[in-house]
A = this chain, B = another copy of it.
Amino acid sequence: MSALDEGHFNVELENGVNLGCTELGIEEEADSIAIQDAVKVLLQGLGEDINREGLRKTPLRVAKALREGTRGYRQKVKDIVQGALFPEAGLDNGVGLAGGAGGLVIVRDLDLFSYCESCLLPFQVKCHVGYVPSGQRVVGLSKLSRVADVFAKRLQDPQCLANDVCSALHQGIKPAGVAVVLQCSHVHFPEIESVLLDSNHQGWVKVLVSSGSGVFDNRNAEEWTDFFSLLKFRGINMEKTNIRGSRNQCWCPSRSSVSAKSSSKTEPVNPVMVTAVASILRSLGEDPLRKELVGTPSCFVNWLMNFQSSNLEMKLNGFVCRRKDSLHPGREVNKKKEICSELNLPFWSQCEHHLLPFHGVVHIGYLGSEGFIPIGKSLLQSIVHFYGFKLQVQERLTRQIAETASSLLGGDVIVVVEANHTCMISRGIEKFGSSTATIAVLGCFSTDPAARAMFLQSIPSAKT
């Protein structure tokens, strides 16, 4: 029972804020333990030591994040909406439409996240919900957000999420109609085999979906025109929206790469790991045999194996020996020095604390002598990818890139890593829009604030 006790203790420590699940029931406790066991299997499958410090509590963290991220399975919409319907007179229908009768109400720009049912990665949702009241009743505005959140906190597909939110609100409010528009962004990591070749890889797959009921049932209804008019200046274009119902094309980039690979790739997916993921699905209250979930465990394992600790090892051997002095023996390096830099090198990594992706850009600065031939961008990019495709933390990634770059670039190196962490949005804190920056400085950059400032000021504003 000591494992159980420690687990429980850790939930409280990790949580800090009591988020309502500190006191797990016996059943929830069993589900949490089952997920933790499965995560241990996955970590071992990656060749990791599950007892090393950074990973020791990872199974607990993953279990907690997954259960919280799928709490929508345990919530009832009816309770949320019923308590917040208010009588509101509205205009006489013969004269006009407003208030409790016929006047469109829209809540825009609700930030949500959900879990992709195809690959188990979280995806971000910018949600816009509207409805046309009837029966002289309006609903509390926050309830539109709460209901959307109930369905987002499940394993989802964008169109399915839009449909779920739309019909739940329609049943709950009984309005003249409900309209839902979702802008969904799914992180899209490049394949580890092709990452060095594909320099223009796009980091996100984006999709815009909509769903309508009642007066919004007809996609050409004038109510949709009103709705989109009020979203238009939020950067949404009506013509680009997918129509309800077309769920055949899977948007998930992991899934499409699996099918593309299945013919070429010979390495089979580790069946023990696949079984572990299926058991996680069951512990979350899902049916691993549901049509949309059948391929999910192997898809997730496939993706996870990108971060096997031994990946790209050979490529490292390729560059650690290419030191500058060995490349240019006898060359005089003590001429006037200037700051050279490579900015915005993309990286892709996996947070070892939560098994969730983080990605962003690396900026590398170094001192080059006059007439010095700068190190190729592609070599620095290789170093970045080498340390990225691992179970990582950003601080270590920054240091490792700096150390390796330093051995190539002569000791005076500054490295800045800017990243978006999925674990900052898809867990309790839900800090959409936050970003993290880390710095490593070597040689003169650690002693000369002016050199550091000059490089830092050359970093362009982050793209959003």
Contact = CB atoms under 8 A, between A and B. Distances in A.
Contacts of A95: 442-443, 446
A80 interface: yes
Interface string A72-88: 00010001101110111
Nearest to A435: B108
Interface in A267-308: none
A141 B89 CA distance: 49
A353 B80 CA distance: 15
Contact of A446 (B97, B353, B439): B97
Between A399, A430, A457, the greatest number of chain B beta carbons within 10 A of the residue's beta carbon is seen for A399
Interface in A56-106: 57, 71, 75, 79-80, 82-84, 86-91, 95-100, 102-106
B19 A441 contact: no
Contacts of A14: 83-84
A380 interface: no
Contact of A457 (B17, B229, B396, B436): B229
A345 to B, nearest CB: 17
Interface in A406-464: 406, 413, 415-416, 421, 423-424, 427, 429-443, 445-446, 449, 452-453, 456-457, 459-462
Q: How many copies of this chain? A: 2
Interface string A131-162: 00100001011110110011000000000000
Contacts of A232: 457
Interface in A223-263: 225-226, 229-230, 232-234
Contacts of A138: 393, 395
Nearest to A412: B96
A109 interface: yes
A47 interface: no
Interface of A: 10, 12-14, 16-22, 53-54, 57, 71, 75, 79-80, 82-84, 86-91, 95-100, 102-111, 133, 138, 140-143, 145-146, 149-150, 222, 225-226, 229-230, 232-234, 353, 393-396, 398-399, 402-403, 406, 413, 415-416, 421, 423-424, 427, 429-443, 445-446, 449, 452-453, 456-457, 459-462
Given A54-B87, A103-B395, A233-B462, 8 more contacts: A16-B83, A17-B149, A57-B83, A91-B440, A96-B440, A98-B440, A106-B437, A225-B452
